[in-house]
Amino acid sequence: MKWWREARFGMFIHWGVYAVLGGVYKGKKIPGIGEWIMYKARIPVKEYKAYAKRFNPVRYDPDAWARMAKEAGMKYMVITSKHHDGFALFDSKVTDWDVVDATPCHKDLLKPLAAACRKYGIKLGFYYSQAQDWNHPGGARARDRLWDPAQKGSMDEYIQKIAAPQVREILSNYGPVAILWWDTPYNMTRERADELLPLLRLQPGILYNNRLGGGYKGDFSTPEQRIPATGLPGVDWETCMTMNRTWGYKSWDHDWKSTKTLIRNLVDIASKGGNYLLNVGPKPDGTFPAPIVERLKGIGRWMKVNGEAIYATKASPCRRPSWGRITRKALPGGNTRLYLHVFELPEDSVLRVPLANKVLSCRLLADPRTFQVKRSPAGLAVKFTGSLPDPICSVVVLDVRGDPQAVPFFAEPGKDGRIHLRAADARIHNPGGGGGARYEKGGVKDNIGYWTDSRSWVEWRFRVPGPGTWRIEALVGNPSKGNRLRIEVGGKRFRLDPSVTGSYDKYRWGKAGTVSFGKGGFFKLAVKPVKKGWQALNLREVRLVPVRP
């Protein structure tokens, strides 16, 4: 896994006969992703196969593809050797539904790409749809939906006569293969998976994902079209994502993510310890749509300057900062290098990093500027001077002594001056034992709940930037009368009688009063039940709203 964990960035390629249709069938735009058009439009097998006669990628330049991936900063590539339509981009000896036999191209498209990847030092992986196959009899179909009698057949026979032999072909005829990327394991029993898994021995050291089926977890997980909020701690993972809304080419999908979004996605994923597999969908002539080329070049320019802050990094050792993201590397001698990826400069130009370590040095990655760093109860404070060299993401290199030492979380004021003390950030005290309050999340849950013990209480740490007055408000789900809260902050106590909302999951804001601070600094706020009459309630958030003079 070492090379894969260090790579962080790869190219996904979805290409096949579906590119000929480009999301349009019989003059109608077909909703959904482009490579699923046969399924979405219920195109009969014989009719769909006829489109292969128009798949003639005369402008296909595998050297240019591999070079573009290299220049974009990508370290590996995964291409659809066969997608759900069953069409193979290689010369398969077990079917004529492939690029050599069914198209005017008559050439294996994977062999020159494999050679180009070797030339540019790109690791090559193959996507293979092992279960779904809408053309070969017996292949699985999502929701077992059948729209053509030609699809009927034995899935076991399909696995034995089509899938397993083809997997053997792609693992035997193209040199080193780094990844086998399975997909949609419909009806993949353990027995069917066991027909395929042993074939991976043909490529020592090959990695495979978690989509084979049969209970096999694979080497890495694959969240699709999303970035997990906190990563997947303890698990190797890779977010696969499109540049627009489709994987395979779709002529009328122009909803392209900006270069800014793509770069920040890459940074966000790396800061959580994951890889980014970014998709391109070539046109039927073998070229990439212009917006893809433009975005790959933009990412490449950024990576040329900042790539060291992505490659071989680990997840951030602390909470996500408001100004951007953090990645890190271990340095010789047991020290740590932090890469501060700055998306937006705070109003005071101070980058607050919740770590207690001694600072060794602090500099900008793009130019020779150095910065002063101060320590406080909230951690390290980097005073950024001048303007950001890159409006998308500028990187500050912060070297510290030893392993990262996190400090307790301090809430910071937002641009509107409000300080949000959210349930997820609370420190929960249960002096009565394990049956007290706890944080709940998922679905409608994002709150302190199970607060039946009146001895339980919660607190937050926060920073105020200077003297001023703030109104204390709390968002409470209160099912019944009798519940009252005491709020302690700034040496004062306040009482809140929350409105009855009729349910734990219905919330209403309540006001407890105002608190003033004579100067800026770091403070605590505690919320405690009033014991008399206490039953239980849910608390989602406390916020401090600045009161303008």
Distance in angstroms (rounded) separating the CA atoms of residues 488 and 125:
58
Is residue 200 scored above 90 in pLDDT? yes
Is residue 239 scored above 80 in pLDDT? yes
Is residue 171 scored above 70 in pLDDT? yes
Q: How many CB atoms lie within 10 A of CB 363?
A: 15
Local structure of residue 209 (DSSP, 8 states): B
β partners of residue 29: 24
Is residue 549 scored above 80 in pLDDT? no
Cβ neighbours of residue 447 closer than 8 Å, sequence gap 6 or more: 423, 439, 440, 477, 538, 539, 540
pLDDT computed for residue 218 by the predictor: 97
pLDDT band at 225 (very low <50, low <70, confident <90, very high): very high
Distance in angstroms (rounded) separating the CA atoms of residues 318 and 410:
12
CA distances from 225 to 219, 239, 241, 242, 263 (A): 19, 7, 5, 7, 15
pLDDT computed for residue 434 by the predictor: 62
What domains sit in the chain, N to C, each tagged with a CATH number? 2-309 (3.20.20.80), 324-407 (2.60.40.1180), 419-546 (2.60.120.260)
Task: Name all contacts of 191-197 with Cβ < 8 Å and 24+ positions apart.
Answer: 192/131, 192/155, 192/156, 192/159, 195/159, 195/160, 195/163, 195/164, 196/130, 196/159, 196/163, 196/164, 196/167
Q: Which residue type is seen at 379?
A: G
- Enumerate the H helices of 88-199 as residue ranges: 99-102, 110-120, 155-158, 164-172, 190-196
Q: What is the mean pLDDT of residues 227-252?
A: 95
Do the beta carbons of residue 122 and residue 70 sit within 8 Å? yes
- Backbone Cα Rg of the chain: 28
Whole-model pTM: value is 0.87
Structure tokens given for 470: 């703030």
Tens digits of residue pLDDT in 50-91: 999 999 999 999 999 999 999 999 999 999 999 999 999 999
pLDDT computed for residue 201 by the predictor: 97
Tens digits of residue pLDDT in 322-352: 899 999 999 999 999 999 999 999 888 999 9
Q: Which of 7, 38, 6 lies closest to 25, judged by CA?
A: 38
Tens digits of residue pLDDT in 453-490: 999 999 999 999 999 999 999 999 999 888 999 999 99
Least confident of 20-24, 170-174, 423-427: 423-427
Q: What is the mean pLDDT of residues 483-502?
A: 94
pLDDT computed for residue 234 by the predictor: 92
Distance in angstroms (rounded) separating the CA atoms of residues 230 and 203:
33
Distance in angstroms (rounded) separating the CA atoms of residues 83 and 415:
47
| Average pLDDT taken over every residue of the chain | 95
Do the beta carbons of residue 540 and residue 475 sit within 8 Å? yes
Is residue 16 scored above 80 in pLDDT? yes
Q: What is the mean pLDDT of residues 229-256?
A: 96
Question: Tokens 């770091």 correspond to what residue?
Answer: 522
pLDDT band at 319 (very low <50, low <70, confident <90, very high): confident
Tens digits of residue pLDDT in 377-412: 889 999 999 999 999 999 999 999 999 999 888 898
pLDDT computed for residue 349 by the predictor: 93
- The DSSP string of 42-102 is T--HHHHHHGGGG---TT--HHHHHHHHHHTT--EEEEEEE-TT--BSS--SS-S-BHHHH
Do the beta carbons of residue 87 and residue 16 sit within 8 Å? yes
Distance in angstroms (rounded) separating the CA atoms of residues 174 and 118:
11
Q: Which residue type is seen at 156?
A: D
Percent of the chain scoring above 90 in pLDDT: 89
Q: Which residues of 411-435 are buried (b: 16+ CB within 10 A; e: fewer)?
A: bbbeeeeebbbbbebbeeebeeeee
Is residue 314 scored above 90 in pLDDT? yes
The number of residues making up the chain comes to: 549
